[in-house]
């Protein structure tokens, strides 16, 4: 009887643990949906215009590097087509700081620096995973993705949500074709 009771107790505790993990996943998904509903502003971002060099699991954009998982074909395509690149993320981080910071002293200090972008420099980061947000990509001309990153300069695990728009896409367009012929129209960090 004691064995049955202890087994039942262990099973019930493990179910609670698994349920908590499931909940955190759906709460992040809810946050992403919320961002697209509330903070959505379509913008056309430029593709990288410099030299792109792909080596094994890293892509070099002039003198900046982003690492990726070799098995993640979507991330590789996003990087080698120049849709996502370090200079874009650096500019995004700086704009985000300027928009969100209300401390005028910090803004003045930033203006006094020789290179204010240096504080926000994104280099040698890794994109661990990219997932298409299928539930948010209902139009065949628009696809939305979540990029899970790792950057030693940014605390925690930065997650970027992006939207790609391909005006010539149809339901039959492959993911590879879609990405190669698309433009980045939304970028936000969670």
pLDDT at residue number 60: 93
Q: Count of H helices and E strands in the chain?
A: 5, 7
3-state secondary structure of 92: helix
Give, for all 190 residues of the chain, the pLDDT tens digit: 565 655 555 555 555 444 444 434 466 677 777 777 777 788 999 999 999 999 989 999 999 999 999 899 999 999 999 999 999 988 888 888 777 777 777 777 767 776 766 667 778 889 998 999 888 878 899 999 999 998 877 778 888 999 999 999 999 999 999 999 999 999 988 8
- Neighbouring residues of 25: CB distance < 8 A, sequence distance ≥ 6: none
Q: What is the pLDDT of residue 77?
A: 94
Residue ranges of domains in the chain: 28-189
The answer to whether residues 36 and 188 touch, using CB atoms and an 8 Å cutoff, is no
pLDDT of residue 190: 82
Question: Would you state the pLDDT for residue 26?
Answer: 61
Quote the pTM value: 0.75
Residue tagged 């696809």 (tokens): 143
Secondary structure letter of residue 126 according to DSSP: E
Provide the pLDDT for residue 39. 73
Tokens 């628009």 identify what position? Answer: 142
């Amino acid at each position: 009887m004691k064995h049955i009771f202890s087994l039942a107790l262990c099973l019930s505790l493990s179910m609670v643990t698994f349920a908590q993990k499931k909940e955190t996943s759906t709460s992040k998904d809810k946050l992403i949906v919320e961002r697209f509903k509330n903070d959505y502003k379509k913008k056309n971002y430029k593709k990288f215009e410099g030299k792109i060099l792909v080596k094994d699991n890293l892509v070099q954009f002039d003198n900046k590097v982003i690492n990726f998982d070799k098995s993640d074909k979507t991330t590789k395509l996003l990087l080698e087509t120049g849709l996502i690149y370090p200079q874009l993320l650096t500019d995004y981080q700086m704009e985000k700081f300027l928009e969100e910071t209300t401390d005028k002293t910090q803004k003045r200090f930033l203006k006094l620096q020789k290179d204010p972008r240096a504080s926000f420099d994104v280099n040698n980061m890794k994109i661990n995973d990219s997932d298409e947000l299928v539930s948010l990509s209902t139009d065949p001309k628009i696809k939305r993705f979540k990029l899970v990153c790792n950057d030693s300069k940014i605390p925690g695990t930065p997650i970027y949500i992006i939207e790609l728009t391909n005006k010539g896409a149809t339901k039959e367009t492959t993911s590879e074709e879609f990405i190669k012929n698309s433009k980045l129209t939304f970028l936000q960090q969670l």
